[in-house]
Every structure is written in structure tokens, then in C-alpha cells.
Chain A
């Protein structure tokens, strides 16, 4: 144990509320020269109790904190379904051009033709890649894209005088699918997967009725498999008068290979932060534009862009045939993410985007092939798409759980894969390597997992149950955190008084 508790570059860092001082500031601001305010008698009397730090202290504080995070730029980040691929810095640079970063959403549209042009270009690329009719750019994240798509479906049904109450969701779906359907008041009916991890058209037919508004289907699905009967499912759904919502979380596997529009999808959100690599940023901001079929296009929410490039912001500006279901966000959506995605698409081009899909699928299948003999592949009979699903069967009798296995990966310098999702197999481990890894990187990852699997079999249990041992923190007590939640720092930060 060192005197400071630090271990060389492993530096601990207190909270700003423990080091900051209320009288300190890191921003020099001129005196306002204000003699009399016009705050209508509402001038602040209650102290805020917020500490400040000077600039050098601030830099050090947040740099030290940053070093307690894992990141794509540090190593392979195989989080299945999350698509942690390389984030090109050109995208960041482009988003910061004053013509994009320093424009206001409500300045006259006549002063921002370049912004509308970029939104038009992005729309064109998204529509072309998906084979759809229209796109609503504004949803702020995938889950909001789902909401947009499902609201368009509800509006379309109402327009034909129908009020259907059920939405079908396969059990392998992301939690956002049932949550979105429920938020709109739909009853959620679960569809079981077949033995091979895919959904059969028969299983869908069984649940279809004139009360079904839509099916929400992720394709490729969260088991990493392309749904082979997707076109037939779409047909059956349409025959029943319902709509096909495609969850585009895994679109990155099929860009340039297949178009959801050709497969019968009516609405699909696209996670720009996954497929088009606008950064995840530690949990957002994302962006979730939703592409729409011809039948749903009239219901796209405000604001929407017409083919001629005009932006429609209010319902009274709509022409006949434009019947938006409402507005999901103030302003026009995640422009900063549009620019980043556009830079990514232009850099890749049609050829590069297809190559990215193929390399992602190749890498996942390579991992699957190289680990099949030591870990349990959940669905070995079909090719994986961009991600491959393992489960806990290979750990049976070892005393090591999926969670332990994942935590041991941390000690080896990797971010764990997605664990315990999807729910269709016990102790799921969903690995998505993405196209950003070199062969050497994939081989080292594979060798590491082989060694871990061997370690578990050989009874080296402590390597797993005590992991992580080398991370900034050992395992955290999440039960305590939830039972008696401490969500803010509660002591006063007025250290001047405390010192006195």
C-alpha cells in the first residue's frame, strides 16, 4: 500500500465537491456593471452551493477520471448489439466546422442552406441504403426512432379507421421494443424463437389477428442471425393488415448486402451511433432516424424535409397528403450526429460500406469458428452475421458464471461482451468484434478467450470469481446501491466554512 493509495499511473480522484471551493472559478468574466436588475423580484437569494475549480485543476480532475474508463481507442470492445467500431476523428472535426457547429436551429432557414443540403444528402443515403420511401431524421436515439415508427403505424391505422391493440415482439428483442409498444398503450405478445434461434412464419401466423397493429422484428436478430423467413413474415403481417416494424439496431451487418425495404419493412430506425459510428460518448448522444415505407411516409413527424429540400416545421405548412403524427423533439434532431454520419458515409462510399458489413460478418464468424471447440456456440448451424452468440453451457460444473467470465476478461485488458442478453439462451455472451479489428487483434482475443475457457475448466476458479483484480475498482456492490440509493453528494461543499 502506498501512502497516497495511488499505484503509479493508477490514480484515484476525489469528487469536485471535496476539492472545489465556492469562491474559486476557472473562467474569467468581466464585471457586468449592473446597477439594477429586472428580474421581477425573483433574484436568487438561496445559495447554490456549487464548488469551482481553476482550469489546471479541472484539466487534471477530468483527465484522471477519463483514465478510469475503457474505450474503443484502447482495445477491442466486443459488446454485442452495441457496435463499438472505430470512431474516425474526421467526423469530430467536420461537426465542429462553424457552419455546422455554430448555427442556431431557429435562425432564418434562408441563412442555413448548407445545413438543409446536408440533411437532404443524409436522407438520400439512408433511403438508398434501406430501399425505403422516406426518412424522419429527428428522433434523438434508437428508442425514440422506435417510438416514431410505431406512432406512424398507429397514425396509419387510425387513418383507415382502425384501432388495433396488440403488438408482436419476439422474445429475443431488445427491451426497448416492448417498452415502446407499451408506452403507446399496446398489449405486447411475445413470440417464441425456434430451436435454431430464428422466428418462423408459422409462429407469427399463429399470433396474427385483426387486433395486431404490428410486429417489431430485429433483423439480423439479437442472436446474430439473419431471419431467413423475413420476407414471408412480412407478407403474412401485411396480409393481416398489420405493419412490419424493423429494429435496425443490427443494420450494420447488411449495409450494401440487402435492403430492408425489399424485405417488406414498413418502418425501421437506424442507430447512427452504431452503424455509422458517431461516437457512443459514454452513453449518448445517439441519433435514431427512422426510414418509412410509402404507406407510412405521409405520417412522418415534424419537422420533415421535402424532396425539394424545404423543411416543414408546422402542421399548417403541410400540403394535402402530408399528415404528420406530431412532433417528437424541439428543433430538428441531432444535427451534430448527421454531420458525423455523413462524413463516415462519404469516407466509406458504397464500396467501403459494403466492405464494412462483410468484414464485420467475417470477423464474427472467424471468432465463432475459432472458439467453437472450447465455448458453447448457441446456434452453430447457421452462419453468424456481425455478432455471435455463446452461452454458459461450457461453464457447467466449473463454478464460474457468465458474469465471472466477463469480469475475468477485464483483467486481461478487454471490455466484456454483452452478457445475459438476449434472454433466449442461459448465460448469454454476445460477441460483436466489428470490422475495426486487425487479424492480429482478433487472434489475440481468441487466444485469450481460449485460455480463459481452459482456466475455467481446469478449476482456476479464483481467476474468475475474484475478477476483476486489476481494474480501477473490484466488483461493485449493486444491491447496496439500489437498496439505499445515494444519487447526489450530500455534504456541503463549502470547505471554507468547514476549515474555519
Chain B
């Protein structure tokens, strides 16, 4: 063998076994041999003639026979002819003469010629049959060698090519040469000694082979060859040559290597420390194999896992597992999320990638399992947060806009779309994308706001604001509105600005209302001023009226009374009793008129002037009033009950008026009683003044608090009818209420309440 030479030429089949001795045509030497045989026979017979005479054809028959055998048709005929001539000339009597011979001689000659021809024809036919058989065998052998799927060559002892396969020619790149009969070393003089030695060993009868021999070719490629050198020999004979067989098994070796490598790779993958892999039987769900990572993950040993079914791990209902396996097996679904149960019964969220592994008899299912529990949890939380945020944003009435550093949308809510008078978010986003300058923006004072003064650019510059007012106008629809904006930059943890958030609120309506309220307030203020002026005027009028009453009505009365008295004094005894009685009536009338005036003034004073509240000791005040009353009428015997510790948040002057009237009434109307009782105290939260005096008929109670209305005759109980009217006004001025309960002859109870503003300031 020599270094393999690349050969890609596809030459024609040129190899053939050399034609052997059983060829189609006798060679020249065969013919010469055939022709020489008659002469040999003639010479031999000459020597033997004394013993063989008179049989002139004695040795020529065998000569003719063998000549036909060697030289076939034409060798036989030629030999026969030569033999005839020799016998005719030499041995036929008379010897050494062409003269006419005896008829028996002619007859024997004819028999010889016929026999010779017969030999020739028979041998020729035999030879042809043999040749045909040989040819066929040779063709089969040729075909076999020629098309042998290996490089095959047969050499003789001199390493000359006897036969060669097409593959050999191709592999040695010598398809264009006729190499048969030529020496291998002649064709490939560079064959190294090592190989020549192997050839020699083969020729010596040894069989040498290699199953996989590695060759590195000149271009660096590695070639693997399987070869065999084997001697060939006819049976029982020393080797006559060698057969060299070689086969390029590079691809096979490479495939094998690749396979080994691949297997190692996949094995490594399977045994990988981190990736959890299960191999499943798609029919039953049985775990066929599990890698160490799976054992670590699930907490069962690999052996335990191999005895389990996936149903024991997957938390799906067992009846659903076959469907999942089927889907995965068919390739319909390759990606799953499951919850897997571990040996310690805890559950993990897993992401599973699966697929089928086709094998010869049945296919299996691989499942790569990835623990995504934390991830899912984080996702869940993140989604939840996001959902919350989104919900919060969506439910906000204020327009919210979150931008990136370029001022582009990151997020905005429905209210933002509504705020800008869009039907929905989609329309809003599209319009802003198509017509970024759809808005005219004005400052609160109506001047055009340059873009750098808009909320987003300001926020992105790091400004914050709340309730910044802008007026906006849609260029397309002409709608205008007023927005109140709060904005701020969004900063990352390093403090640099990564976006902005702007919250806007449509305050158009609020502004309108504000304006309206302002106008109304102005009007109201004006009206209040007017009314106040009116009231002040009325008060002043009342004031001057009271003043006039107090001054000017009294003076005439004083005159009437005074001069009547003067008359009485001066005339004295000259007046009759009747005349004196008339003057007394004038004096009495003027006095009563004066009391009425006092009453009116008292009543009007309760409604005039400021209310000066203070914490007031009502008990002390009542006791003072009691003492005054007792001083005026010391003869009255009254059983007083004044509760200690009574206080009120009230005007002292008015409260004195109130108590003087109420206690005075009780005093007055209990005058007829043997055991008069007056009580001042609390009834629940209210104050009560109670007496056991004359009382009154509740049927007339409606008149009780009206000025100048009286429930008793003057001759029963004199009075003006001003007291209770005054009392009610005092109570009303303090924001309280008063009511009376009485029965004729049974006494009366006046119950009044005074709101305690000190305890409940408003």
C-alpha cells in the first residue's frame, strides 16, 4: 500500500484479468510449437525407424493430436499438412522422393489427413467451449472485483497488477491508466519501505491486516483506513502473489466518533448538576430515568424516582396526566406550567419543557423541569402591584400621565383621555401620536405658555408644583378648559431624573363656580350692606323712638301729675272730696302711663344692645332678686327653694331682667296662698321657676308671651303684660326656649333652656 492519493476522477473500467492459457486464440508460440511437433516426430521416427517400419505414420498421429491440442484448428491442420508432406517425402517408399506412390500409400495418407482434420476440429470445439466458460467466469470475477465496494487489487509475485477494483483506481487516482501488468512500485515509486515490507510478508504467505489505520493526509485531513494484505495461491502451492484490500472508513469512524461524542455530550447534559431532567414513559407516566439534579430537587433518590410515576409528582388530577403526556408526546404542546410535589410534600411551581425521544421500538418523553416558584411569586407580586397601580390609576378621577425622560407616554389613565376631551385612551394616544401639537396651552393669565413652561418639561427639569393652573385649547375642536396641575420628576435611587409624573384636574367648572360664588358674594355683601344699613337705620329709628318715649312722653305725664298735685296742695281744704278724687284719678292715670312707658322701654331694651355673655351664678342672682322682693314686702311668708350651684352662659343684665320677671311673677301670683312656695332649680337640662300660686288656664296660654296681653284682671293681679314678653325675648336672644305649664289654682311652672355655648363652642 502507498499513501492514499485523493482521486475523484471516475475513469472507465479498465481492469481485467490477463488472458490466460485457455485464451480464445492460440499464441504464436503455441502455433510454433504445434508446427514443430511434425518435425520432431519425423526426426524421432528416423531414429526409431528400424523398429517401427513399415508404419510410416507411427509417431505422426500423436504429433498431429498434440499439435491440434496446442495449436487448435490451425495448429492441427498445419501440423497434419506438414506431417503428410514429411511422411510422403521421407518415409513413403521410395524414400526421399515426391514420386507417385502405391495406392495404399495414398489411401493411408487420406486416412491420416482425415484423422488430423478431425483432431483439429474436435480440439477447436473443445477449446472454444472451455474458452466460453472461462470467459464467463472471468467476466463474473471481473465484475466482482470491478464493483467490489472496497479498493481491491491483486498482484503477482512481482507486484504487478493482475486485477484491480474500480474503487482502487478511484482512490489512487489512476483511473486513466491501464495498469494491468504494470508493477505497483513502478506506478507509485514513493511507496515507503514499511509498506514494501508488508507486501513482502504477504508474498511470504502471511496475512496482515488493520481494522482502522489512521492516516494524516498531506492537506491535514485525517483518514481512517481498514486494510488487509493476503497472499493468494493455487491450492497447495506457494503464494503466487498478494491481494490488497483497503477500505476508507473515515466517515464511519467519524460518525462513530461523532456518535460517541454526542452520547457523551447528552450524557453530560443529563447528568448536569443543575438542570432537572426526567425521562418518562409517555404511555404510563412512569419515570424511566431521572438525573442527579432531579433527585436533589425532588428529594427522592434517582433510584426511588425511577420506581415512581409522574402522577405522584404532578399535582394535576391523575386522570388528566395521560392527556398532558399525550399532548407533549405528539408535540402539540411543549411548554407547561405545573405544580410539583416534592418528597417533603411541599409544592413548587415548575416550568416544564418536554418533547419526545424517538427510539427504535418505542419513544420516550423527556421533561426539563425548571423551578420557577420564586419567579412566579415575584411575577405574581409584580402583577398584583401592577394591577393595583393600574386599578388605582384607572379609578382616579384626576388625569395621570407618566412620561419618560423624553416626555413620551409611559402610562396614562382614562381620566387623562377624558381630561383632554377624547372619547377613550386609544383615541387619545393616537391623536397625540399623529398630531403632537394638538394643544394650545396658556398660562393662568391667558398668555401663551411656551413648551418649556408646560408641566412635563418643568417636571423633567426637576421642578415640582401643585395646583399649577393652565388653560388649554384643542386646536381641532376648539374646546377649551382649565386644568390644575400637580407635577414632579421621577427619580431613580441615584437621584437622577428618569421621568415625570403629572396629575391634572379639570377645574373649568370649579373656576366657573368660583367666579359665580365670587359674584354672588359680592352681590350678597352688597345686599348685606344694604340690609345692614336698613337695619341700622331702623335700629336708630327705634333708638330715637325709645329715647323720645322715655323723654318726651314722660314730661307731659309729669306735668299732668305735677300740676294736679300742685292744685291739690294749693287748694287743699277748699276742694271737695269728689274734686279731690278727680285729681287723684289724674295722678293715678299719669302714674300708670309712666309704668307702661317703663314696660315698653324695658321690652325694647331686651332686644337692643349687644349680648355680653359670661359664666353667671344664677343661684346668687336669684337669691339677690329674692332678697329685694322680701325687702319690698317683708310681711309675705314664702317658702323659697333655690338650688345651689346654678350657672348659665348668659348676659348678666338680661338674666337679671329675666329672673326679676319670673320670680316677681311667682311672688305676685302666689300672694293668695297660705303656704306659698317658690322653687328655682333645674329640671333635666332646663331651668324651672315653679310656684303654687294662682296659675292660669292653659287655654289662654297662647297669649302668655305676647306683650300687653294679660290672663288676670287688674283687680286680681295688677300688671302691665310686659314681663313674660320680655322674658321670652331674653330667652330667644340667648338662643333658648321657654314654655309654661299651669292649671288655674294649682300654680305655674316656667321651664326655660339656655344653650351653653361655653361647653359647645361653635
Q: Do A and B come together as binding partners?
A: no
Q: Hey, which bits of chain A sit against chain B, CB under 8 A?
A: none
